[in-house]
Amino acid sequence: MIPEFDENGNLPPGVHFCEWEEFEERFGTNFKRENMIRGLKLAMTQLKAAGGRTIYIDGSFVTSEERPNDFDACYDRETVDMNNLRINAPRLFNHYDRNAQKAKYRGEIFPSDQPVGNYGDNSFDFFQTDRDKNKKGIIAIDLMRWEP
**For 93-133, how does the pLDDT look when each residue is reduced to its tens digit (9 = 90+)?**
998 899 999 999 999 999 999 988 776 689 999 999 988 88
Q: What is the dihedral of CA 60, 63, 64, 67, to 10 degrees?
A: 20
Question: What confidence score (pLDDT) does residue 55 get?
Answer: 98
What pLDDT, on the 0 to 100 scale, is given for residue 120?
A: 67
Which pLDDT tens digit goes with each residue over 48-82?
A: 999 999 999 999 999 999 999 999 999 999 999 99
- Quickly state the pLDDT bin for 11 (edges 50, 70, 90): very high
Confidence of residue 88 (pLDDT cuts 50, 70, 90): very high
Q: What is the mean pLDDT of residues 6-29?
A: 96
Of 13, 43, 60, nearest to 146 by C-alpha is 43
Q: Residue 72: which of 104, 46, 110 has the closest Cα? A: 110
The total of other beta-carbon atoms located within 10 Å of residue 24's CB is 16
pTM of this structure:
0.94
Provide DSSP, 39-58. Answer: HHHHHHHHHHHTT--EEEEE
